[in-house]
Chains A and B, each alone.
Chain A
Amino acid sequence: MAHFDTTTNAGQLLAAASGGRRRRGDRVFSNIAVVAAVTILALLVGVAAFLVAEGFPAFTSSTAELPNQESFISYVAPLAFGTVLAGVLAMVIAVPLAVAVALFITHIAPARLALLLGFFVDLLAAIPSIIYGLWGIFVLGPAAVPAMRWLEEKLGFIPIFEGPASITGRTMLVVGLVLAVMILPIISAVAREVFSQTPRKLQEGAQALGSTRWEMIRTTVLPFGRSSVISGAMLGLGRALGETMAVAIILSVSGGVTFNLIGQANPSTIAANIALNFPESSGLAINVLIATGLVLFAITLATNFLARIIIDRAEIK
């Protein structure tokens, strides 16, 4: 029997009481969706809350109670310094390369090749960080030693190349290089996206004026993509700041704050420090490590906010 027999009078409208069941289905489903959304919020709040709770003792304990009788600030300061140093170094190396890679793929390479190349660059992003760590310490480190020695000899007057050059290659410079390789695909993906979306009219306008390819890129593609590239760079920086394993494996740690990039005594990063010390720690030491984790979280949050401000400012212009 046809279930839509509406030849009876339109009072069926109100009596179409499958309305009741339908309303329930809608309510249930939308409730589930809201619950999921709230769960996410709760999760993030939970992360912050638990970390603060567990890290709190480290802030409140007196110096005598802390491991090594060292105040929390003096413990975390060199770590924070190392974190930022490694991150900034990685960004400085990666951004120009990423922009060049993106320009190559979007404007110079032939179209079919471009697709393949993009795929390969994205592969870089998929490689787990532990592998970068192993590669860094077994391959890149030793290979970089002669270069670092050369830097010490010829450019040693510059503080960052002060030396003495490490003989194992486990230096901040190598760490910076490895981190740069890790974050390059992220920045390059963002840059590729925006460069390929440069409006044709802009580009053709420049070409119609008789500009060379580079001139066109310089006057249309780069300005158009500037804020996106900055945003990508900050994304990459955030990733580099939080990177653990590559640093933990490669870096030879023994010290405090120094700008010497090629030496043996390097500050560790917060993340690597946690990874190296956590498994064997107990008691207050764990609280201290968690507290440093909080500091790291704060740094990455600040980086993200900074990125957002820069983007918004650039877009308003």
Chain B
Amino acid sequence: MTPPPADAAVLSTRSLFSGEGSRGGSLPSWAPWGAFVGAVVFCGLVEAVLGWFTIALMLVFGCLVAIVAIYAWSRPVEGARRAKDRAVTMAIVAAFGVAMAPLISLLYEVIVRGAAGISWEFFTSDSRGVVAGGGAAHAIVGTLVITACAVVISVPIGLMAAIYMNEYGRGPLRRALTFFVDVMTGIPSIVAGLFAYALFELFFGPGIRMGIMGSIALTVLMIPIVIRSAEEVLKIVPDHLREASYALGTPKWKTITKVVLPTAFAGLVTGVMLATARIIGETAPLLVTTGVVDSMNADPFQGRMQNLAVYAYNEYRSPGVMKQASFDRAWAAALTLILIVMILNVIARLVYRRYKTEIR
């Protein structure tokens, strides 16, 4: 801590209580804003004079200078400790701004650029045989089919495994399972795709591409998320509810299906929806399994299939004759994807809020 100021003897109790710092003064309430704006303007001017003006650098340096400025301004008036407090607060706020800037920029760009590619054609036609133009209808259908298959496989297995771990599991199998679920959450998405590829290649030979392969890859990614969140929710169901059910002479499995699961229901649904939102935008595992295709295909067991994310990637990677139009379509696919993901997230949280059972 800093040594007391020389005029410590003159400290009045009042000034201590009013939090005015050891020197007895206080900065005006607009001080942080003033320091920030002043610093940014200052840096901008310096940059302009020196000839390397960019907005980004101006803001970055502006923040740094602002931190120093508020410290220098506050210290003589309010004392070193408060000055440090202000400086750090400024730094934290600035960091928050820096962290939020990409989100804002990204959302803005996706909306603006994506809007350019949205059209009736985008939603209704596929890209078969077109050299320029075409739409993403096949990608939309593909997204739904592949994701639906993944959910249908993952949820029952994941839920039952979570029930096992929480209600039955004892000893080595349970410990092994916890460990392995931990490991599974860390599998890179492309590795999951490679596994699905390898699995099918064993039975069907190389070069195989099928919608269901993508679903299997997504399942590998989705199951640990489902298990984790289901486990959390099941743990929250209080034991005294289970006991009340046992005391009525109810067997264990009925207690689980008629008391535990209904009580945890909202949380389970939310967990599944969030997990779905996670995998619906996956590209990498699908690149190596379901491949790239231009025509509509709704059969997961037959031939290539494409989802929105892969479509966006492909439009970027191999644009048609009219490059910008392809890029526009890539952004449009991105916009559609973001909307779907956001809606799923919001609905999931609303469902939880509305349907969760209040447990005392």
Q: Is the CB of A126 within 8 A of B92?
A: no
Contacts of B144 in A (CB 8 A): none
Q: Is the CB of B191 within 8 A of A134?
A: no
A39, A104, A138, A238: which has the most chain B beta carbons within 10 Å? A104
Asked if B57 is at the interface (CB within 8 A of a chain A CB), the reply is: yes
Q: Is the CB of B54 within 8 A of A29?
A: no
CB distance from A9 to the nearest CB of B (A): 19
**Of all chain A residues, which has the CB nearest B317?**
A249
Q: Is the CB of B198 within 8 A of A54?
A: yes
CB distance from B158 to the nearest CB of A (A): 8
Q: Is the CB of B316 within 8 A of A134?
A: yes
Q: Is the CB of A244 within 8 A of B189?
A: yes
CB distance from B349 to the nearest CB of A (A): 8
Contacts of A274 in B (CB 8 A): 190, 194, 284, 288
Q: Is the CB of A249 within 8 A of B313?
A: yes
CB distance from B155 to the nearest CB of A (A): 11
Measuring CB to CB, which residues of chain A are less than 8 angstroms from any residue of chain B?
22, 25-26, 28-30, 32-41, 43-44, 46-47, 50-51, 53-54, 96-98, 100-101, 103-104, 108, 120-124, 126-135, 138-140, 143-144, 146-147, 150, 153, 181, 184, 188, 212-215, 238, 241-245, 248-249, 271, 274-275, 278-279, 282, 286, 289-290, 293, 296-297, 300-301, 303-304
CA distance A200 to B206 in the complex (A): 60
Q: Is the CB of B188 within 8 A of A44?
A: no
CA distance A214 to B207 in the complex (A): 59
Q: Is the CB of B199 within 8 A of A134?
A: no
Q: Is the CB of B110 within 8 A of A293?
A: no
CB distance from B131 to the nearest CB of A (A): 21
Q: Is the CB of A128 within 8 A of B191?
A: no
CA distance A306 to B227 in the complex (A): 23
Contacts of B257 in A (CB 8 A): 29
Contact of B334 among A25, A131, A215, A243 (CB under 8 A): A131
Asked if B121 is at the interface (CB within 8 A of a chain A CB), the reply is: no
**Of all chain B residues, which has the CB nearest A124?**
B103
Sample 11 A-B pairs with CB under 8 A, ordered by A number: A29-B256, A97-B95, A120-B103, A128-B282, A128-B334, A129-B282, A131-B338, A132-B106, A135-B109, A138-B327, A143-B56
Contacts beyond the supplied A130-B337, A213-B89, A271-B284: 9 A-B pairs with Cβ under 8 Å: A39-B157, A41-B180, A104-B93, A123-B103, A184-B99, A242-B188, A275-B190, A279-B292, A304-B186
Q: Is the CB of A296 within 8 A of B85?
A: no
CA distance A300 to B188 in the complex (A): 8
Q: Is the CB of A138 within 8 A of B109?
A: yes
Q: Is the CB of B253 within 8 A of A26?
A: yes
Asked if B237 is at the interface (CB within 8 A of a chain A CB), the reply is: no
Q: Is the CB of B57 within 8 A of A43?
A: no
Contact of B81 among A39, A50, A212, A300 (CB under 8 A): A212
Known: A33-B164, A40-B223, A54-B198. A147 touches B341 (CB 8 A): no
**Of all chain B residues, which has the CB nearest A128?**
B281
Q: Is the CB of A286 within 8 A of B89?
A: no
Q: Is the CB of B253 within 8 A of A47?
A: no
CB distance from A24 to the nearest CB of B (A): 10
Q: Is the CB of A286 within 8 A of B206?
A: yes
Q: Which of B297-347 contact A (CB under 8 A)?
A: 309, 312-313, 316, 327, 330-331, 334, 337-338, 341-342, 345
**Of all chain A residues, which has the CB nearest B47?**
A150
Q: Is the CB of B191 within 8 A of A100?
A: no
Asked if B247 is at the interface (CB within 8 A of a chain A CB), the reply is: no
CB distance from A49 to the nearest CB of B (A): 9
Q: Is the CB of B195 within 8 A of A33?
A: no
**Of all chain A residues, which has the CB nearest B156?**
A36
Asked if B192 is at the interface (CB within 8 A of a chain A CB), the reply is: yes
B99, B160, B254, B331: which has the most chain A beta carbons within 10 Å? B99
CA distance A133 to B283 in the complex (A): 11
Q: Is the CB of B85 within 8 A of A126?
A: no
Which secondary structure characterizes the binding site on chain B?
Answer: helix
Q: Is the CB of A40 within 8 A of B89?
A: no
Asked if B30 is at the interface (CB within 8 A of a chain A CB), the reply is: no
Known: A37-B169, A130-B283, A130-B312. A100 touches B106 (CB 8 A): no
CA distance A112 to B73 in the complex (A): 31
Binary flags per residue of B157-183, CB closer than 8 Å to A gives 1, else 0: 111110111011100011011001111
Contacts of A304 in B (CB 8 A): 182-183, 186
Asked if B52 is at the interface (CB within 8 A of a chain A CB), the reply is: yes
Contacts of A140 in B (CB 8 A): 102, 105
Contacts of A242 in B (CB 8 A): 186-191
Contacts of B287 in A (CB 8 A): 275, 278-279
Q: Is the CB of B345 within 8 A of A46?
A: no
Q: Is the CB of A40 within 8 A of B180?
A: yes
Q: Is the CB of A290 within 8 A of B194?
A: yes
Q: Is the CB of B283 within 8 A of A245?
A: yes
Asked if B8 is at the interface (CB within 8 A of a chain A CB), the reply is: no
Q: Is the CB of B163 within 8 A of A44?
A: no
Known: A36-B164, A245-B313. A108 touches B187 (CB 8 A): no
Q: Is the CB of B188 within 8 A of A40?
A: no
Q: Is the CB of B164 within 8 A of A139?
A: no
CA distance A104 to B95 in the complex (A): 9
Asked if B359 is at the interface (CB within 8 A of a chain A CB), the reply is: no
**Of all chain B residues, which has the CB nearest A139?**
B109
**Of all chain B residues, which has the CB nearest A23?**
B251
Q: Which of B269-287 contact A (CB under 8 A)?
A: 277-278, 280-284, 287
